[in-house]
C-alpha cells in the first residue's frame, strides 16, 4: 500500500541514480510530484520527464543525469515561517547554498530560496542535493 506517493517517487529516482541508470519510471502520478520534478529539472538535477498513458494509468519517465546525491520527502510536513528556513537547511541540506528544499506556499510550490526572496512561509515537502 502506498502511503506517500511523493516519497516513493523520490526513492525510485534515488535508487535508479545509485545504480547509474539513465532513466526511471514513476507511478502513481500526482500534481505535486510533477511540480517537484519540474523544480528538480530547473535546477539541472534531472533531465526532462515525459508523461505516457498505459493500460494501467499514467506513467512518468524521468531522464537521469547522475547529478543527485540525495533526495527525499520531508516527513512530517513541517510548517515554516518566512524567517525560519535556516534551521531546516541545517537539518536537511549538507551545507549552505548547496541543494534545495521544496516548499508549498500560498503562491505555489517553489524552492526555499525563492520563498525567502518573496518573504513567504509554507510547508516543507521535499529536499534534494
Q: Looking at the predicted structure, is the pLDDT value of residue 1 above 80? A: no
pLDDT of 2 over the 90 cut: no
Residues 93, 129: contact at Cβ < 8 Å?
Answer: yes
CA separation for the pair 21, 86 (Å, rounded)? 33
Q: Taking residues 81-91, what's their average pLDDT?
A: 94
Q: What is the pLDDT of residues 24-77, one digit of tens each?
A: 999 999 999 999 999 999 999 999 999 999 998 999 999 999 999 999 999 999
**pTM score, whole prediction:** 0.93
Instruction: Note the pLDDT of residue 42.
Output: 96
Give the domains, in start order, of the chain with CATH numbers.
Answer: 5-64 (3.30.1370.30), 74-128 (3.30.1490.10)
Question: Exposed, middle or buried by CB within 10 Å (0-12, 13-18, 19+), for 71?
Answer: buried
Q: Over the chain, what is the mean pLDDT?
A: 95
Amino acid at each position: 500500500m502506498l502511503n506517500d506517493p511523493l516519497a516513493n517517487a523520490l526513492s525510485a529516482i534515488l535508487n535508479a541514480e545509485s545504480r547509474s541508470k539513465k532513466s526511471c519510471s514513476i507511478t502513481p502520478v500526482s500534481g505535486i510530484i510533477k511540480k517537484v520534478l519540474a523544480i528538480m529539472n530547473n535546477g539541472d538535477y534531472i533531465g526532462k520527464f515525459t508523461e505516457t498513458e498505459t493500460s494501467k494509468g499514467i506513467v512518468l519517465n524521468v531522464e537521469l543525469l547522475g547529478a543527485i546525491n540525495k533526495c527525499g520527502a520531508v516527513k512530517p510536513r513541517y510548517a515554516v515561517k518566512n524567517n525560519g528556513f535556516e534551521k531546516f537547511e541545517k537539518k536537511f541540506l549538507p551545507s549552505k547554498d548547496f541543494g534545495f528544499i521544496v516548499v508549498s506556499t500560498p503562491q505555489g510550490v517553489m524552492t526555499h530560496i525563492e520563498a525567502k526572496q518573496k518573504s513567504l512561509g509554507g510547508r516543507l515537502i521535499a529536499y534534494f542535493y
